[in-house]
Amino acid sequence: MADYEQLDTPSVVLRADLQRLFDSLHARGYETIAPRVENGAIIYDEVTSVDALPAGWTDEQEGGFYRLEGRDDGALFGYTVGPQSWKRYLSPPIRRLWQARKNGDGFEIVHEDAPTPHYALIGVRACELHAIHHLDDVYLGGSTIDADYQQRREAAFIVAVNCGKAGNTCFCASLGTGPAVGPGYDLALTELVTEREHAFVVTVGSERGADVLADVPHRPAAPGEIDLAEAIVAEAARHMGRTLETTGLKELLYRSFEHPHWDEVAERCLTCGNCTMVCPTCFCFTVEDTTDLTGQSAERWRRADSCFTTAFTFITSGSQRASAKARYRQWLTHKLATWQDQFDSLGCVGCGRCITWCPVGIDLTAEVAALRAEEIGQPQPEAVLEMA
């Protein structure tokens, strides 16, 4: 795709015309995935009608706590992130990679060739867009790439949404990953609900974004509307429920390998793996090989996996991270320290999901603060050479 120069003036689309956005995306062959309410939470699912968006809903989040509540302004995006993330559409948690069939003198491999789904992801928040870029680093950044991910990713149309409200467990402002969306979207919306109008300030981020916007009734945004949109996002930034000090974070975690605080976390952590399942950047998977009952045909499946299981690191001599302490330490150290060495960025985007959805409310921002507060002298790397 050719480079796209962002239009200087944002546009305004009225709430009443937003359905046309969905319709245009449909007409162009996209399956529209957007937030909707199910089982008391905001999830991401196929949504074809604007009326199915969570109008008038907001969420209250705390460590180990999530509840939807009504808001009286009818806002369509007046909540923050729920338990799901877009990774389920770009890198499905369960998928068959190939099949094999026995034949006369061996077996043959049957490739999967399902058509690539074309998703329009509507309502992608700033932190989530960063998380998608992190998945790009993992699946597309190396010398070997995940072609399935690449196809889904390139096909995806991204409608980002600026956050007008920060959640209690959010800390994107500390990490520079939000609440204002950064580059990488096709269209970005900021929802304005005032006494005079219910509308969206729209910025275009790509040529195909411009094409889609052309199908939707819009007008240039008035200066007051642009100012208001910016003020709303700035206000969200001032109301982050959490903060995470990033200065020296990598070194802090590397130094803290033997910190007694890990034992303290391990007393609370259930090693349920919820945090890894809800995290938009957790990318680990396992593969499983199976056969049918006759033993004539086999399949390989890829499934999302979690570093909180003991099987994750199993080798002949046993699990390499048998203790809960080692598994929590690995997870947190990967997010905040080793990820920096691997991908030159933090592995956390500050979405707060792991805090909200941890059944016991373990809060990584608090754990880091505790590591900082109780810094202790650490053995030098040479220690191994002196060992027994």
Partner 1 sequence: MLATAIHERQPAVARTFATNGCVPYRCRVTERHQENDDTFTVELEPAGARSHAAFAAGQFNMLYVFGLGEIPISISGDPAQPDRLVHTTRAVGTVTRAMATLRRGDMIGVRGPFGSSWPLDDLKGKDIVLVGGGIGLAPLRPALYQLVAQRGDYGRVVLLYGARTPEDMLFRAELERWRSRFDLEIFVTVDRATGDWHGNVGLVTALIPRAPFEPQNAVALICGPEVMMRYAVQALHKRGVGPQQTYLSLERNMKCGTAMCGHCQYGPHFVCRDGPVFRMDQVQRFFGKWEV
Ligand X SMILES: Cc1cc2nc3c(=O)[nH]c(=O)nc-3n(C[C@H](O)[C@H](O)[C@H](O)COP(=O)(O)OP(=O)(O)OC[C@H]3O[C@@H](n4cnc5c(N)ncnc54)[C@H](O)[C@@H]3O)c2cc1C
User: Footprint of ligand SF4 on this chain (CB under 6 A)?
Assistant: 269-275, 278-281, 308, 335, 348-354, 358-360, 362, 364
Q: Does 182 bind partner 1 (CB under 8 A)?
A: no
Looking at the Cβ atoms of 241 and 350, the one nearer to ligand SF4 is: 350
**Which positions from 307 through 346 interact with ligand X, judged by CB under 6 A?**
314-316
Backbone angles phi, psi at 85, to 5 degrees: -135, 170
- In the bound complex, what is the minimum distance in angstroms from residue 311's beta carbon to ligand X? 8
Looking at the Cβ atoms of 70 and 106, the one nearer to partner 1 is: 106
**Residues 6 or more apart whose Cβ sits within 8 Å of residue 96:** 112, 299, 300, 301, 302
Looking at the Cβ atoms of 232 and 364, the one nearer to ligand SF4 is: 364
- In the bound complex, what is the minimum distance in angstroms from residue 131's beta carbon to partner 1? 15
- In the bound complex, what is the minimum distance in angstroms from residue 286's beta carbon to ligand X? 9
How far is 78 from 165, CA to CA, in rounded Å?
7
Q: Does 142 bind partner 1 (CB under 8 A)?
A: yes
How far is 191 from 97, CA to CA, in rounded Å?
40
| Paired tokens of 195 | 């006494």
- In the bound complex, what is the minimum distance in angstroms from residue 144's beta carbon to ligand X? 16
**Residues 6 or more apart whose Cβ sits within 8 Å of residue 16:** none
Looking at the Cβ atoms of 27 and 284, the one nearer to ligand X is: 284
Looking at the Cβ atoms of 315 and 373, the one nearer to partner 1 is: 315
How far is 325 from 141, CA to CA, in rounded Å?
31
Preceding peptide of 179 cis, ω within 30°: yes
Looking at the Cβ atoms of 316 and 380, the one nearer to ligand X is: 316
**Which positions from 149 through 168 interact with partner 1, judged by CB under 8 A?**
150, 153-154, 158
**Which positions from 48 through 67 interact with partner 1, judged by CB under 8 A?**
none
- The amino acid at residue 38 is E
Handedness of CA 354, 360, 366, 368 (dihedral sign): negative
- In the bound complex, what is the minimum distance in angstroms from residue 129's beta carbon to partner 1? 11
Are 128 and 182 contacting, i.e. CB atoms less than 8 angstroms apart?
Answer: no
Report strand pairing: 65-70 vs 94-103. Answer: unpaired
Q: Please identify which residue in 3, 8, 267, 344 interacts with partner 1, judged by CB under 8 A.
A: 3
Q: Please identify which residue in 131, 138, 189, 346 interacts with partner 1, judged by CB under 8 A.
A: 138
- Packing angle between helix 324-333 and helix 261-268, nearest 10 degrees? 110
- In the bound complex, what is the minimum distance in angstroms from residue 117's beta carbon to partner 1? 13
Handedness of CA 348, 353, 358, 363 (dihedral sign): positive
Q: Which helix (H) or strand (E) holds 188?
A: strand 187-193
Looking at the Cβ atoms of 122 and 307, the one nearer to ligand SF4 is: 307
337 secondary structure, DSSP code: I
Q: Please identify which residue in 307, 346, 354, 371 interacts with partner 1, judged by CB under 8 A.
A: 307
Binding-site ranges for ligand X (CB under 6 A): 314-316
